[in-house]
């Protein structure tokens, strides 16, 4: 006999907009925890996700075990999301959840939250009205109201949401390590903020401390917060981990405490793809409290939901030979439509003046090569022309900027000083998508030794290393190695490299009284390279590194020779076009050894002379 389905519909008028509420209400892992729901586990930890990422999950409540198959969540950002669960055991046979957010006239959001639940026998008929109709209704409203306050203020209170749970011994250790960190990090306010978070933040926050996200929430410098976390790791307050991310779902597939354990190639079960690890996208550094200070327990209350893959703006399950219309709110920029089972995808460019409607079709042939342009509020039609159900995924191609990537972190001088033994497994090679390489060499150093003697000249060379090191570290770069009196340095971006070398050249050319002026030749190039371990230290190799090395000999010692790639960088262009920088760039051409005698367009960057500045005025 068919069981009567229970249906609950709850409506809320909230003050924040759907866009502001979206990251709060769609973080279903936090929502379920905050609503008092039990944690969940995989029904078979060894099993791979089913068709279109269906999962077998289980939980236990009041001694009753419940197991179900969960379909992938469906959503249209930032207006609606939902999920269907079909239960194998427990008092419910099927449950559906659907949340819709509509913009209210005059501002705010009208949120409609609906639950459909079909009982299994008398127990289900008794449990559902109590657990869903009363308990969940009350708890859900409390959570939605709190999230509304947080969304309106733009600050999630989970970071400092609970009173301290540390025992006296742990609190004493935390205080001792905080004082130790203060000896290495001069910003006492940031140290206090970190200690407060470790003591009182919830486990969700502390399980994956992202330094840039932490900095943004505190309203402070990202680099200062990253350096704080690195020094806190050396002090024993935090533990550092490298997360290896899938390029499609962008979820962590592996986590390692050392670069030595990072593999160049991985597999993502959810996306069913093999991928190559890349330092500037696939590897992110995160932190958590050292276990001796505070043990962090990570539990899952929901394994799906839009915030698991926040770059995905639309996700829909569409049966074979069917169509569906969606109307998302999109950000300008490049997007891609793909499905979970078909290879490749369809590029889509979102622009303000793009088309208002667009049909995107998945079939058994290759995806189209064109890139249609759509508006930020389009009406999209997804058409499944295949003979199988398809999970349609529309995603932003741009990666979020809150990740402190391995490319950035390993380029910091502080990281190399504190973690000098952090290197890849011998023989391992990992791509670095983009790195800026600087080579320098003292001009006429051989003559310097002849003229002033070995001892004095050696002191001058050592002093020049100190000047270079300070200038490079100040701009977020690091010295990779020294060869005689030459230096190889790396930076995440070109503009800081250029600022660093110009500052170093100026300091060496105009030293304090009694110190001999020095001229420093320099060359900069930017591009992909390979990270390897050489002499037990992290190093970089590849044709772009070789090209940077070929540019330094072309320098006169009063300029820095940069490649066309560096000159074309937007930050470098802005720097050179800024009159207050005092810099001038002159075009040049040269053939570089080892590059098939190809003629390269180069630029000589130097400080404008007083006469040049006068002419400019």
Q: pLDDT tens, 147-190? A: 999 998 876 665 444 556 788 999 999 999 999 999 999 899 99
Edge-to-edge strands, sheet with 252-256: 252-256, 238-245, 283-289
CA distance 555 to 441: 9
Confidence of residue 535 (pLDDT cuts 50, 70, 90): confident
Nearest to 241 by CA among 259, 214, 265: 259
Nearest to 249 by CA among 231, 266, 229: 266
Asked if residue 516 has pLDDT above 70, the reply is yes
Residues 6+ apart with CB under 8 A from 446: none
What pLDDT does residue 120 have?
Answer: 94
CB atoms within 10 A of CB 456: 13
What pLDDT does residue 501 have?
Answer: 97
Burial of 71 by CB count in 10 Å (0-12 exposed, 13-18 middle, 19+ buried)?
buried
CB atoms within 10 A of CB 447: 10
What pLDDT does residue 614 have?
Answer: 38
Burial of 485 by CB count in 10 Å (0-12 exposed, 13-18 middle, 19+ buried)?
buried
CA distance 388 to 410: 45
Nearest to 538 by CA among 429, 422, 433, 430: 422
Q: pLDDT tens, 182-204? A: 999 989 999 999 999 999 998 98
Burial 563-596 (b: 16+ CB within 10 A, else e): bebbbebeebeebbeeeebebbbeeeeeebeeee
CATH class of 6-159: alpha beta
Residues 6+ apart with CB under 8 A from 288: 206, 207, 208, 209, 238, 239, 241, 296
CB atoms within 10 A of CB 460: 20
CA distance 179 to 609: 49
Asked if residue 401 has pLDDT above 90, the reply is no
CA distance 510 to 516: 9
**Where do the CATH 3.30.530.20 domains begin and end in the chain?**
6-159
Question: What's the half-sphere exposure (Cβ side, CA atoms, 13 Å) at 271?
Answer: 20
What kind and span of H or E run contains 85? strand 80-89
Is beta strand 312-318 parallel, antiparallel or unpaired with respect to 390-396? Answer: antiparallel
| 420-616, CATH topology level | Alpha-Beta Plaits (3.30.70)
Reduced to 3 states, what is the DSSP secondary structure of residue 546? helix
**Where do the CATH 3.30.70.1230 domains begin and end in the chain?**
420-616
> Taking the model in full, what pTM does it have?
0.85
Asked if residue 272 has pLDDT above 90, the reply is no
Tokens of 588: 């040049």
Instruction: Give 442 or 444, the one with higher predicted confidence.
Output: 442
Asked if residue 310 has pLDDT above 80, the reply is yes
Residue identified by tokens 């960057």 is 605
């Amino acid at each position: 006999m068919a069981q009567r389905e229970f249906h609950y519909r709850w409506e809320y008028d909230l003050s924040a907009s759907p866009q502001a509420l979206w990251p709060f209400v769609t973080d279903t892992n936090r929502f379920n925890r905050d609503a008092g729901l039990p944690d969940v586990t995989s029904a078979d930890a060894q099993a791979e996700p089913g068709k279109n990422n269906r999962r077998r999950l289980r939980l236990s409540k009041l001694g009753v075990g419940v197991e179900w198959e969960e379909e992938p969540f469906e959503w249209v950002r930032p207006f609606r999301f939902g999920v269907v669960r079909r239960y194998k055991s427990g008092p419910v046979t099927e449950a559906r959840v659907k949340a819709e957010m509509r913009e209210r006239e005059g501002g705010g959001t009208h949120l409609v939250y609906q639950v459909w639940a079909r009982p299994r026998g008398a127990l289900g008929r008794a449990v559902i009205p109590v657990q869903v109709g009363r308990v969940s209704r009350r708890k859900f409203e409390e959570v939605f109201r709190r999230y509304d306050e947080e969304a309106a203020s733009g600050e999630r209170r989970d970071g400092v949401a609970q009173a301290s749970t540390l025992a006296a011994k742990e609190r004493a250790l935390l205080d001792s390590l905080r004082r130790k960190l203060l000896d290495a990090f001069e910003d006492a306010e940031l140290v206090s903020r970190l200690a407060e978070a470790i003591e009182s933040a919830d486990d969700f926050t502390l399980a994956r401390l992202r330094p840039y996200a932490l900095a943004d929430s505190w309203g402070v410098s990202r680099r200062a917060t990253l350096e704080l976390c690195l020094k806190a790791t050396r002090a024993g307050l935090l533990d550092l981990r490298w997360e290896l991310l899938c390029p499609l779902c962008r979820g962590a597939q592996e986590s390692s405490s050392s670069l030595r354990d990072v593999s160049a190639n991985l597999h993502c079960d959810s996306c069913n793809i093999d991928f190559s690890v890349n330092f500037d996208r696939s590897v992110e550094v995160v932190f958590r409290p050292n276990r001796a200070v505070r043990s962090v327990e990570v539990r899952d209350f929901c394994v799906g939901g839009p915030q698991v893959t926040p770059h995905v703006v639309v996700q829909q399950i569409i049966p074979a030979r069917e169509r569906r219309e969606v109307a998302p709110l999109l950000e300008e920029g490049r997007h891609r439509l793909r499905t979970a089972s078909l290879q490749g995808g369809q590029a889509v460019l979102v622009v303000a003046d793009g088309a208002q409607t667009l049909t995107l079709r998945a079939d058994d042939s290759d995806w189209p090569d064109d890139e249609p342009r759509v508006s930020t509020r389009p009406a999209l039609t997804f058409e499944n022309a295949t003979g199988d159900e398809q999970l349609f995924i529309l995603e932003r191609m741009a990666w979020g900027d809150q990740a402190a990537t391995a490319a950035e972190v390993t380029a910091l001088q502080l990281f190399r000083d504190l973690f000098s033994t952090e290197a890849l497994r011998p023989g391992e090679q990992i791509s670095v998508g983009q790195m800026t390489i600087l080579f320098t060499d003292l001009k006429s150093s051989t003559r310097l030794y002849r003229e002033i003697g070995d001892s004095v000249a050696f002191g001058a060379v050592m002093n020049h290393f100190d000047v270079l090191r300070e200038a490079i570290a100040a701009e977020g770069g690091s010295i990779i190695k020294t060869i005689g009196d030459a230096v190889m340095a790396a930076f995440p971006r070109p503009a800081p490299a250029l600022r660093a070398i110009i500052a170093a050249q100026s300091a060496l050319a105009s030293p304090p009284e009694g110190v001999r002026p020095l001229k420093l030749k320099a060359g900069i190039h930017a591009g992909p390279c390979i990270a390897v371990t050489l002499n037990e230290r992290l190093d970089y190799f590849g044709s772009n590194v070789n090209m940077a090395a070929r540019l330094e000999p072309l320098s006169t010692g009063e300029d820095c020779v940069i490649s066309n790639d560096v000159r074309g960088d937007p930050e470098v262009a802005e720097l050179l076009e800024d009159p207050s920088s005092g810099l001038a760039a002159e075009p040049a051409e040269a053939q570089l050894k080892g590059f098939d005698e190809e003629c390269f367009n180069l630029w000589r960057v130097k400080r404008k002379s007083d006469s040049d500045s006068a002419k400019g005025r």
